[in-house]
Structure 1
Amino acid sequence: MRYISTRGEAPALGFEDVLLTGLATDGGLYVPESLPHFSLEEIRSWRGLSYSELAFNVMHPFVDDAVPADDFRKMLNETYAVFAHPAVAPLVQLDTNEWVMELFRGPTLAFKDFALQLLGRLLDYVLEKRQQHVVIMGATSGDTGSAAIEGCRRCEHVDIFILHPYQRVSEVQRRQMTTVQGDNIHNIAVRGNFDDCQRMVKESFSNQSFLGGKTQLAAVNSINWARIMAQIVYYFHASLALGGPDRSMAFSVPTGNFGDIFAGYLAKKMGLPISQLVIATNRNDILHRFMSGNKYEQHQLEHTLSPSMDIMVSSNFERLLFDLHGRDGLAVKTLLENAAKGPVSIEDYRWKHARKLFDSDAVDDKATCDTIREIYQQNEYLLDPHTAIGVRAARNCRRDPAVPMITLGTAHPAKFPDAVAESGLSVQPPLPAHMADLFEREERYTVLDNNIAGVQEFIAKNWKNT
């Protein structure tokens, strides 16, 4: 398996190098040169497999010979053994043919654990083999940071620097990051928004001279292909649990950076019968505005009750644009350069093709709270605000009630008590036992100005091999 850049100018790489590289040297994102395709018969044969066995079947073609099969199986068994439910991603029924897939049973209570628990083990394996040290630099709108720290904190060959927007993540999200102790863990609160943090990460990957040639950056954000690869699996898991592949499924995906729903798009291309993919956004609705009106235009980023989706520059959307443009890297590069200057549109026939692939909806804070309250009153089931957006978008966009609609439950409601309170419910979602003392733990983080030079200087001074 070889990987190519969405901007067409970087060299093709194998899995190991893509794992460690993150962003391509031409500024693009790596995607597989070709996708594996599974027949309905093959998918059907996977019924009854454990989650880790299913994950091996779906992901091994992407890893190929970079990790021997037995080692990869062991890695997957260890990855999903730390999840708090034996099904790993259990399905909960809300209504007739309507489901939530709980992706928050991992150690940090968010869907990011599915990929980042694996990513940490993959990094450790490859870096040990190469006897190499890397610096992880990542940006988080709330959940990626804690999942990355939890997944990578025991890696012997890694220093971790996570940027989050100062005072723009929930208190639980912040404390999950800042209370983890370790000489190799550094949390940076940037006086800006998530897009500012993400921009610094991308620019740093493009020019790593601030590290003095002594190490290299590695990515934990969903620009790293391994993140997307791991997220493809739970689409197969949900389908097989509800009668697939002999019946098609619909999925509603709360998304800001487009990575999670892009994984669903890939699952469909790999042979899984999916009849509908719904892009569910909050007020920061650049994806919905593009899908509904063929206009990709950045607005002012707003702070909402669903902070993990407070994103205006959706990095992984570039991977879809690459496919929509017939994998023409130059066309994608030109389009994104123009998008940085102002609104852009794509050719009408390309946009119409995108509309066939995806539906979309934007859900504001009031509708989010209404959905949390309504679902709790109907089912005594508590949604976090991101999942609530997914449920509302699913109901607004659903094409066929006969097709099972599965909303991806992306986070535990205990991470967002303010949203639950604002919905008018008196219930207090408790933290799981392993986090019961979270508010008593000592925090450790550094607040820095929204200035890339200052952030890079901090990293250069604090990674442990300097």
Structure 2
Amino acid sequence: MKYISTRGKVPPIGFIDAILMGLADDGGLLVPERIPQVSADTLQKWQRLSYQELALEIFTLYVDQDIPRDELKQLVDDSYATFRHEDVTPVRRIRNDLHVLELFHGPTFAFKDVALQFLGNLYSYVSRKRNSIIHIVGATSGDTGASAIEGVRGKEGIKICILHPHGKVSRVQELQMTTVDDANVLNLAVEGTFDDCQRIIKELFADVDFKHQYHLRAINSINIARILAQTVYYFFAYFQLANHGHTGPANFSVPTGNFGDIFAGYLAKAMGLPVGKLILATNENNILAHFVNEGVYQPGEFKSTHSPSMDIQVASNFERYLYYLYGGDAAKVAALMDEFKAQGRVIVPADVLERVQETFAAYAVGNEECLNVIGDYYAKYDYLLDPHTACGVAASDRVAGDGEVTVALSTAHPAKFDESIRLREITQTYPREIQALFDKAQHQTVVGGTNEDVKSRLVAFF
């Protein structure tokens, strides 16, 4: 298995080189040269596997010979031993037509743990095997930062710097990042939005000389390993339904701002998993829903919402989807991204939009609607949704067809967003790990929103 750039100007490279490169050196994103096809017989064999066993089988398809199978198994086992639930990502039935895939049983109570526990161990493995310097730089709208830090804190040969938008993440998200007092961790609170943080990261990685001089490695979902790790739980969720008698396709409703989580679902579908519709749920920052419904990808006015991890206007993984939408035409993708840089938008023709809508449905959830769903589901089903999961459930209720079965991805524990939960006069008890954060000192540096502001801090840290 080799990896190539969506813009076509990077020679094919192996899995480990792909995760070390992060953002492709030509400014594109790395994708597998081919998508492995999983037969119906193989799906049936996989149906009874544990999460760890399934992850090993799927990773093996993409890692090929870069990591011996016994060493890959150890990486997988170590990564998911940190989860609080024996199934790692269990499925909870809400109604016959609606299930919730709980992705928050990892150490930081967020879905990002599923990928970043693995990626943290993977980086540590590569550092040992290749004697490589690993300097991780990432941006977060809230959950990635804590998960990434937890995945690598204290590990020899690795340093990590995380950028988050100052004052625009939840209190618990901020504490999970900034109460870590390890010498290999730097938190930068950027004056601006998550889109500013993400832009800085992409531009730093696009500066190839700087990237190589300081050994920068990616932790955001521009890193293909993140996507591959997230693909596993789509298979596992479907198999849990199948083990309880479900047959035929299932929809997945995915709260997303950066298009990474739902792109993992797209990859699972392309591999052969019986996925019906991929329901794309956004909040009022609705660039992705607007694209699916109208064929126009164009950032709008940034809005702060009750689901801050999706307060994103520019989705970094969207380019990967464009690559497959246009049949692997790297020149076309490069032209579209140039158009986006110059004009601030991408418009696809009607025939292309039809193909988009064969795979995706989309709905943008209003701020009050999000809170109403939290209150309604708590009252009716005694199940507490975090505001991001509430967006996914709201989108499913709006666009799923009658009689269709949908799995809504629950991306975070509600305790991480108590500010929103309290607005519906719901009182929850914090898990003890989260409660303990409020007594700890914080460690963060507030910086301006320019590349140079961040560069100077990175040079001093690394």
TM-score by length of 1: 0.96
Deviation at 1:134, TM superposition (A): 2.0
What letter matches 2:458 in structure 1?
I
Contact 1:210 1:457 survives alignment (8 Å): no
Measure the CA separation in 2 of the matches of 1:329 and 1:140: 28
**Matching of residues 350-389 of structure 1 within 5 Å:** 350-389=352-391
Give the equivalent residue in structure 2 for 1:119: 119
Equivalent position SS for 2:83: coil
Measure the CA separation in 2 of the matches of 1:426 and 1:286: 31
Deviation at 1:157, TM superposition (A): 1.5
Give the equivalent residue in structure 1 for 2:185: 185
Equivalent position SS for 1:298: coil
Q: Deviations over 1:264-304 (max 9, x none)?
A: 11111111101111000000000111111111111121111
Give the equivalent residue in structure 2 for 1:397: 399
Equivalent position SS for 1:56: helix
Deviation at 1:444, TM superposition (A): 0.1
Contact 1:18 1:30 survives alignment (8 Å): yes
Equivalent position SS for 1:240: helix
Q: Deviations over 1:43-79 (max 9, x none)?
A: 1112221110011111111111111101111111111
Give the equivalent residue in structure 1 for 2:254: 253
Q: Deviations over 1:349-397 (max 9, x none)?
A: 1111011110000001100000000000011111000000000000101
Contact 2:10 2:25 survives alignment (8 Å): yes
RMSD value over aligned CA atoms?
1.2
Contact 1:208 1:216 survives alignment (8 Å): no
Measure the CA separation in 2 of the matches of 1:299 and 1:365: 16
Deviation at 1:343, TM superposition (A): 2.9
What letter matches 1:143 in structure 2?
D
Q: Deviations over 1:150-200 (max 9, x none)?
A: 011133121101000000000100000001121110000000000100000
Say yes or no: does 1:321 pair with 2:349.
Answer: no
Give the equivalent residue in structure 1 for 2:235: 236
Contact 2:249 2:275 survives alignment (8 Å): yes
Say yes or no: does 1:343 pair with 2:345.
Answer: yes
Measure the CA separation in 1 of the matches of 2:58 and 2:254: 20
Measure the CA separation in 1 of the matches of 2:209 and 2:48: 50
Equivalent position SS for 2:297: coil
Contact 2:123 2:134 survives alignment (8 Å): no
Give the equivalent residue in structure 2 for 1:167: 167
Deviation at 1:246, TM superposition (A): 4.0
Measure the CA separation in 2 of the matches of 1:302 and 1:411: 21
What letter matches 2:172 in structure 1?
V
Deviation at 1:214, TM superposition (A): 4.4
Give the equivalent residue in structure 2 for 1:305: 306
Equivalent position SS for 1:242: helix
Q: Deviations over 1:201-242 (max 9, x none)?
A: 00000115447x643110000000000000000011011111
**Matching of residues 422-433 of structure 1 within 5 Å:** 422=423, 424-428=424-428, 430-433=429-432
TM-score by length of 2: 0.97
Measure the CA separation in 2 of the matches of 1:47 and 1:320: 28
Q: Deviations over 1:314-366 (max 9, x none)?
A: 01110010011121112111112212223331122111101111000000110
Give the equivalent residue in structure 2 for 1:29: 29
Equivalent position SS for 2:347: coil
Measure the CA separation in 2 of the matches of 1:117 and 1:61: 20
Say yes or no: does 1:419 pair with 2:412.
Answer: no
Identity between Structure 1 and Structure 2 (%): 45
Deviates more, 1:197-206 or 1:7-16: 7-16
Equivalent position SS for 1:137: strand
Contact 1:257 1:316 survives alignment (8 Å): yes
Contact 2:172 2:434 survives alignment (8 Å): no
What letter matches 1:135 in structure 2?
H
**Matching of residues 139-218 of structure 1 within 5 Å:** 139-210=139-210, 214-218=213-217
Measure the CA separation in 1 of the matches of 2:405 and 2:87: 19
Classify 1:183/1:208 alpha carbon distance in 2 versus 1 (closer, same or farther; 3 Å): farther
Say yes or no: does 1:110 pair with 2:98.
Answer: no
Equivalent position SS for 1:136: strand
Equivalent position SS for 1:58: helix
Measure the CA separation in 1 of the matches of 2:372 and 2:247: 35
Runs of 4+ in 1 over 3 A off after TM superposition: 208-211
Structure 1 unaligned regions, length at least 5: none
Measure the CA separation in 1 of the matches of 2:430 and 2:33: 42
Give the equivalent residue in structure 2 for 1:455: 454
What letter matches 1:189 in structure 2?
A
Contact 2:154 2:183 survives alignment (8 Å): no
Aligned residues: 459
